[in-house]
Chains A and B, each alone.
Chain A
Amino acid sequence: MEETPSVASRPSASQTSAMEQVPRIPSEAPSVVLQAHMALPETPTSAEEEEDTALEYESMVLLSHLEQSAIRLSDPMMQASPALALEYLVNVTNRLVEFTERLPMPGRQKFSLEALIVRDRQNYERLGFDYIHNGRLVFAAFEKLHVSQGGMRHSSTFPQLSKDLLRVTNICLNLCVKAFHTPTHRQQWRTVYSGFLVNLARSLQKIAPLPPGS
């Protein structure tokens, strides 16, 4: 049983012992877990707190949508359909990219998928400009290169592509966390996004286990 931490009173002493503090990052998290960031040096203004409230609303809506796709990816039926899973993962990534592009990030360069790939190219096994059009991943490009008769042409392709897309997802979620001003929001959303990412990675591993050492 889990419980929100900072609410004043609790139902009873016996329940308190069984309750957990809200979302902690699982210790067995795979390598895609969000990285920790430096604490904020200054106290946020009321305007910044309002911005955080607005951003939080949008983040809740976004994550509620993303989670429904993630749940479908964890469906046992999906585990036998890497091509379909790839399509879902592309949609999840695109939605997150779109959200990240709109984040208020004063003083930072505007986020774009192309710029991300250029900057981080050596870390991607497969992902490149062949798969991107107008700032979005195009599933048809993945399909053309890797899908045949509804299945993946090579068994190694899905793990590589899904790992690349998880990397993009991880970077976007990190930026979503950084967009909050208050340390409390950052901490809470880092935990929430980490939980989401870990579960997404686990679902993808079941579809096609990543090769050892990856």
Chain B
Amino acid sequence: MAEMPIPKVIMVVDDSQTVRNIMALILHRLGYQSVRVRSAMEALTTLTELVPDLIFLDITLPGMDGLDVCKVIKENQRTKHVPVVMLSGSDQVFDKVMGRLAGAADYVTKPFEPDTIRQCVETHCGRGLRVREGLWKKRRR
């Protein structure tokens, strides 16, 4: 009997509940499992129990910021291979450069479109379980 495929796990670190909820819906529709946390400390604690396939990490977090969290992730033997995508409300080159220096693989500017997230996820951890050709292709206008 064929085994049930296991969805890839994507961690979303953002202090905005709405952003976490939107990301969860996007990832769920695409067939990924999302684990969502709201702070740097919560993220680092979770990473001691779970190594996700990809991490979306907000730059602006209360307390320790996303860039520092990214550095910690990249210095840890267990998690250094996990691609990190920085999320930011700013589109400034400086932030992107800082993200790269911290070890981030990519950068997504908020507000974002679901397709941007899809492309980013597929680039860094492959397609989800629920690949539906044409999903989100048809627009209302």
Which positions in A face B, CB cutoff 8 Å?
1-4, 6-12, 14-15, 19, 22-23, 50-51, 53-58, 60-61, 63-65, 67-68, 70-71, 102, 104, 188, 191-192, 195-196, 199
Contacts and interface: CB of A to CB of B under 8 A. Distances in A.
Nearest to A55: B140
Given A2-B37, A10-B33, A11-B9, A23 B28 contact: no
Contacts of A102: 140-141
A60 B26 contact: yes
Nearest to B49: A15
Interface in B33-78: 33-37, 42, 46, 49-50
A4 B33 contact: yes
Contacts of A22: 21, 24, 28
A196 B135 CA distance: 25
A71 B16 contact: yes
Contacts of B21: 22-23, 191-192, 195
Contacts of A55: 140
A195 B18 CA distance: 7
B6 interface: yes
Contacts of A54: 136, 138-140
12 contacts: A1-B35, A4-B34, A7-B33, A8-B6, A8-B7, A10-B33, A50-B138, A58-B139, A60-B113, A64-B19, A67-B16, A102-B141
B17 A1 contact: no
Contacts of B4: 8-9
A1 B46 CA distance: 8
A67 B136 CA distance: 21
Nearest to B7: A7
3 smallest CB-CB distances across A and B, nearest first, come from A64-B111, A2-B36, A65-B111
A210 to B, nearest CB: 21
A64 B67 CA distance: 22
A187 to B, nearest CB: 12
Given A64-B110, A195-B17, A19 B6 contact: no
Contacts of A188: 25
A199 B15 CA distance: 12
A60 B25 CA distance: 9
B22 A64 contact: yes
B101 to A, nearest CB: 25
Contacts of A2: 20, 24, 35-37
B110 A68 contact: yes
A196 B49 CA distance: 30
Contacts of A192: 18, 21-22, 25
A38 to B, nearest CB: 23
Contacts of B140: 51, 54-55, 58, 102, 104
Contacts of A65: 111
A3 B35 contact: yes
